[in-house]
Structure 1
Amino acid sequence: MAAAAPQVDTKRRTYAILIALGLGVVSGLLLHTLGDSAIYGAEQAGKLMTGLFLRLIKMVIAPLVFATLVSGIGKLGDDTLVLRVGGRILLWFIAMSFVSLTIGLLAANILQPGIGFSPPPITDIASLKHPFQPIDFILHIAPTSILDAMARNDILQIVVFSVLFGLALPAAGKAGKIMLNWTEELGHIMLRMTDMVMLLAPMAVFGSVMGSLASGGGAMLLHYGRFLVEFYSTILILWCVLTGLAFLVLGPRIKGLLKELFQPIILGYATASSESVYPLLLEKLENFGVPTRIGGFVLPLGYSFNLDGSILFQSFGAIFIAQAYGITLPWSQQALMVLVMMLSSKGIAGVPRASLVTLVAVLPQFGLPEAGIALILGIDHFLDMARTATNVLGNGYAAAISAKWEGELSDGPTKDVM
């Protein structure tokens, strides 16, 4: 696996976020009734709490994406079987990423989830209004300096450098293996740092909800409820599409696979962590007939490259923020955004709320204020639960499909050595 997630007390985290959410609702509604001075104070306090959290999140973006991508791609190696299985499944991952992003984009444009929200103020309006130049964008893809790209958190340039770096590792022989081990360890460290930052998530949730409700009053609760319903409906559509595509490969056996995946999906939904599901998911795939050497290769790769729920959230969340601020994105720019997100999403780690990290990095590239993330923080735990369950489903399908393509999908439990 590109990097293992640190062990955390997910139940305690969940309770902390729920308590922060409840306190934020009560405090915000109360402060809304106390007049303009109380509302202003609540808005400033909320801005401080969420701003600190966002800065710390941005701090880990560059090294996290670099380590995750390099270690994931570098592990492909040059073995014939690995290249064949990896090549086929990577094509599947890319196709599913495109499907997920497109569904999120279309759903957000149709449902208009951002209408009616009161977003945090934008500090620099001028920096968000810049015409899109195709030639400049293409030239911008190639970094002139990776250090400069990392300093600016330019996610696309970091992704391009990381992919090329990972592909070049096998050519370095022993030194490449040392560097691969180094990036794996860096990934462990950055995931631990991400987890440390997430300790402040309850504070950010409280500040975001309190500030929003103090400003908008009880009407904001209706907007958040509608947003949750619309996002879950979009996730359900993606489930149907993924299941239909998997049926084209697996046929009637899809029913048995769904029965095996039920428990891992529920666990993923409850913990909001794909990593916590990995051992159980591998076991259930073995019960279905996926060889260990196939499942043990596809799943870790999928945890970096095939997080369908998290990817859908990228496009849905970006359009939501644009609508909340009244920013109109032409379809040409939205299509380009899908392509950029398809690349940048490959650096998403399988840990709770990690998709926020990538979204924060991508937003400024399309003239969208990263401060809009504050609108999502208050309910992101519930969004993350749905995203994680979808990630588990998509990777379970991918492993079974890979085994089918290799002609190694048996009719019952199987274990072997990679």
Structure 2
Amino acid sequence: MLLGILSGAAIHAYAAQTTITVWSENITLLTDVFLRLIKMVIAPLVFSTLTVGIMRLGETATIGRVGGKAMVWFVTSSILSILVGLVIVTLEHPGAGLNLAIPKESVDTGLAVSGMSLKGFLTHTIPTSITEAMANNEILQIVVFSMFFGIAGASLGRNSTLRWWRPLNVVSHIMLKVTGYVMYVAPLAIFAAISSVIASQGLGILLNYASFIGGYYVAVLLTSMVLLAVGYMVLKKEVFRLLNMLKDPVLVAFTTSSSEAAYPKTLERLVEFGCSRNIASFVLPIGYSFNLVGSMVYCSFAAMFIAQAYNIHLSFSEITVMMLTLMLASKGIAGVPRSALVVLAATIPSFNIPVAGILLLMGIDHFLDMGRSAINVLGNGIATAMLSKMKVCCRKRSRKKKLRLSRSRPDRRAPSLTGARFVIKKEAPNRHARGNVTK
């Protein structure tokens, strides 16, 4: 990463414009190859690991309990991250000094935006073809199909489940091995991504938006601390070991600006940490669609920044409704390019905030996306570890309860004909036995 910054800054400062263009366009080949390799393994990896995890969980009731707890936490973490972003942007006011005039005409941002629709969201969730969903890397659709497949497989009975589980388990291990090979390319991809951006735009772009970027990363850091604090309540001191083990996938997500790039490594590290592979394979893919805490911080921060830039004052009720709308609109949109920007562009016009304000952020979106991706990985890692620990605790409590019940039950030995148990007592020795009789 440091080498990428230094090389990019040197090329931007001393090379001709044509050289900068050629370098930026060609060096990104390494990043493109790495991301394509990651996308190549994502679909089969998610399908095989999630299906195997559900089949191992077995009972539908168990799947429902784990899924229900996961969704409760995802909503809670989304609300917490939105509040952190909202508090920081309100205190800092990074857009207050811009005093932009509201444009009279709409501006094309270049984003594929469609109005938020519940019908559209639900229909997009259900795949018309699993092959099409895998070809397009529609993670949410793959998750839905895998859940149906895994639940159906678990309901066939133990013998049939084992017959399907074994080959899928082999596939999941093969895909994890392939992922290990792909990760060898990660350092080169990180170097290429950083060098290309710095070479084309220079370090000055960071200075021009220093207030916004600084405030945003303060919000990201505070959100991380909140997540770690909640994780400490469940994992205790083990949360620090988890943080140390997740540093590599978080770094991959940060430098490549892609949460998907870190998925295989995150799954591997969670299993090494001690999480149940069943829980990790079940919760982590769902989290990639419903637990985008980094995107929540960004959306709340960016929406209020644009409103401040245009001197638009929103009431408390308007802010509340807008934050809830942003939270709901973000669910299941992880596979969309620049998903956070798309959510913003689809939401803020409803509150009379010019969509043209997004153009203010598009120049630095790469640097913002780095933070979004990193905290998304951290949030999903903590959520998976917490749910795995809670599942283990529930299992231990269940075993203790069964043990107490078994001990409290009366002795079920066969009764005598009179209804009482036979009690055999050892008779005391007779002092008047033979040899002790007095004359």
Q: How does 1:57-206 map to 2 (within 5 A)?
A: 79-117=60-98, 119=100, 122-124=103-105, 153-155=114-116, 157=117, 160-162=118-120, 164-165=122-123, 179=128, 181=130, 184-185=133-134, 187-188=136-137
Aligned residues: 292
The residue type paired with residue 108 of structure 1 is: V
Q: For 1:91 and 1:85, locate their aligned partners in 2 and report how far apart those are by CA, in whole Å.
A: 10
Q: For 2:382 and 2:365, locate their aligned partners in 1 and report how far apart those are by CA, in whole Å.
A: 25
Q: For 1:258 and 1:282, locate their aligned partners in 2 and report how far apart those are by CA, in whole Å.
A: 14
1:293 aligns with 2:278: yes
- Counterpart of 1:310 in 2: which secondary structure? helix
Q: How does 1:2-401 map to 2 (within 5 A)?
A: 79-117=60-98, 119=100, 122-124=103-105, 153-155=114-116, 157=117, 160-162=118-120, 164-165=122-123, 179=128, 181=130, 184-185=133-134, 187-188=136-137, 224-349=209-334, 353-401=338-386
Q: For 2:366 and 2:113, locate their aligned partners in 1 and report how far apart those are by CA, in whole Å.
A: 28
- Counterpart of 1:117 in 2: which secondary structure? coil
* CA distances 1:51-77 after superposition (whole Å, capped 9, x unpaired): xxxxxxxxxxxxxxxxxxxx9xxx999
Corresponding residue for residue 144 of structure 2: none
Q: For 1:273 and 1:333, locate their aligned partners in 2 and report how far apart those are by CA, in whole Å.
A: 32
Q: Considering only aligned residues, what root-mean-square deviation do their CA atoms show, in Å? A: 4.0
The structure number with the bigger radius of gyration is 2
Q: For 1:244 and 1:286, locate their aligned partners in 2 and report how far apart those are by CA, in whole Å.
A: 22
C-alpha change, 1:251 and 1:223, in structure 2 (3 Å) is same
Contact 1:250 1:404 in 2 (8 A): yes
The residue type paired with residue 292 of structure 2 is: L
Q: For 2:242 and 2:319, locate their aligned partners in 1 and report how far apart those are by CA, in whole Å.
A: 35
C-alpha change, 1:221 and 1:324, in structure 2 (3 Å) is farther
* CA distances 1:53-102 after superposition (whole Å, capped 9, x unpaired): xxxxxxxxxxxxxxxxxx9xxx9999333222111101100000011111
Q: For 1:379 and 1:263, locate their aligned partners in 2 and report how far apart those are by CA, in whole Å.
A: 24
C-alpha change, 1:303 and 1:291, in structure 2 (3 Å) is same
Q: For 1:190 and 1:256, locate their aligned partners in 2 and report how far apart those are by CA, in whole Å.
A: 29
- Counterpart of 1:263 in 2: which secondary structure? helix
The residue type paired with residue 396 of structure 1 is: G
Q: For 2:367 and 2:70, locate their aligned partners in 1 and report how far apart those are by CA, in whole Å.
A: 29
Q: For 2:97 and 2:347, locate their aligned partners in 1 and report how far apart those are by CA, in whole Å.
A: 23
C-alpha change, 1:351 and 1:344, in structure 2 (3 Å) is closer
Once the two structures are TM-superposed, the CA of residue 409 in structure 1 deviates from its matched residue by: 11
- Counterpart of 1:372 in 2: which secondary structure? helix
Instruction: State, as a whole percentage, how many aligned pairs show the same letter.
Output: 39
- Counterpart of 1:344 in 2: which secondary structure? helix
Contact 1:274 1:350 in 2 (8 A): no
Once the two structures are TM-superposed, the CA of residue 327 in structure 1 deviates from its matched residue by: 0.7
The residue type paired with residue 284 of structure 1 is: R
* CA distances 1:247-280 after superposition (whole Å, capped 9, x unpaired): 1111111111111111111111111100000111
* CA distances 1:194-234 after superposition (whole Å, capped 9, x unpaired): xxxxxxxxxxx99xx99xxxxxxx9x975511111111111
Once the two structures are TM-superposed, the CA of residue 241 in structure 1 deviates from its matched residue by: 0.7
The residue type paired with residue 113 of structure 1 is: P
- Counterpart of 1:406 in 2: which secondary structure? helix
Q: For 2:69 and 2:225, locate their aligned partners in 1 and report how far apart those are by CA, in whole Å.
A: 23
Q: For 2:369 and 2:246, locate their aligned partners in 1 and report how far apart those are by CA, in whole Å.
A: 18
* CA distances 1:94-121 after superposition (whole Å, capped 9, x unpaired): 0000111111112111110112236585
C-alpha change, 1:152 and 1:238, in structure 2 (3 Å) is closer
The residue type paired with residue 88 of structure 1 is: K
Corresponding residue for residue 411 of structure 2: none
* CA distances 1:355-391 after superposition (whole Å, capped 9, x unpaired): 1111111111111111111111111111111111100
* TM-score between the two structures when normalised by the length of structure 2: 0.58
Q: For 1:120 and 1:373, locate their aligned partners in 2 and report how far apart those are by CA, in whole Å.
A: 14
Corresponding residue for residue 173 of structure 2: none
Once the two structures are TM-superposed, the CA of residue 184 in structure 1 deviates from its matched residue by: 2.4
Contact 2:253 2:261 in 1 (8 A): yes
The residue type paired with residue 351 of structure 2 is: F
Which blocks of at least 5 consecutive residues in structure 2 are unaligned?
18-46, 107-111, 141-196, 396-439
Q: For 1:305 and 1:322, locate their aligned partners in 2 and report how far apart those are by CA, in whole Å.
A: 26
The residue type paired with residue 115 of structure 1 is: A
Corresponding residue for residue 138 of structure 1: none
C-alpha change, 1:97 and 1:190, in structure 2 (3 Å) is closer
C-alpha change, 1:221 and 1:311, in structure 2 (3 Å) is closer
Q: For 2:209 and 2:244, locate their aligned partners in 1 and report how far apart those are by CA, in whole Å.
A: 33
The residue type paired with residue 296 of structure 2 is: I
Q: For 1:359 and 1:94, locate their aligned partners in 2 and report how far apart those are by CA, in whole Å.
A: 19
Contact 1:274 1:392 in 2 (8 A): yes
